[in-house]
Amino acid sequence: MLVLLDRDGVINVDRPDSVKSCDELSLIDGAAEAIAQLNRSGVKIAVVTNQSVVGRGIITPDALDAIHRHLQQLLQSKGAALDAIYVCADHPDHATHRRKPEAGMLQEALQHFSADPAKTPMVGDALRDLQAAKAAGCPRYLVRTGKGSELEKSGIPDALAPVEVVDHLPAAVAHIMARYRI
């Protein structure tokens, strides 16, 4: 089984000015433990993240790689690991099919892990995460961390239903494990 996760607002604190260095990356409480729980159950985990901070020239691709190495180190210190990180660095004004709300990154992960979209939940905190998951045929989870609470208040479009709304990644993982009998 595969679970897809957005990064900012799901695993780490979402910053209004984006995560631009390792020092600016901090895990959301309970996120590492939730990932470790999936790891122990043999579930593969892929992050699918838009990082226009690269496409806009704010940081380099090497700086983003360093941030992701740091993320893996933080997770490993708590017994957790990501199996893959898919990044779309496109500038929002020049987006390809990989940039969420398009489904390109999700489809790459599904193909790489030979996963059935209907049994591959996507956990995100933004409308574009839910839109990409719907386009890829994946079950959708919205966490209230990051931008999720605002989206819940403004209303999730009916076209994206069903969407499970949960407080945070640990709650999403608990729901996923129960739903899929992991």
Give the separation between CA 165 and CA 124, rounded to whole angstroms: 10
62 is catalytic: no
6 is catalytic: yes
Strand-by-strand arrangement of the 122-124 sheet: 84-88, 44-50, 2-5, 122-124, 140-143, 163-166
Q: Is the sign of the CA dihedral 146, 23, 89, 5 positive or negative?
A: negative
Axis crossing angle, helix 61-76 with helix 31-40, rounded to the nearest 10: 70
Catalytic residue, chosen from 6, 14, 90, 125, is 6
Burial (Cβ within 10 Å: 0-12, 13-18, ≥19) of residue 21: exposed
Q: What is the CA radius of gyration of the chain?
A: 15
Q: Judge contact between 91 and 51, C-beta under 8 A.
A: no
Q: Which residues are catalytic?
A: 6, 8
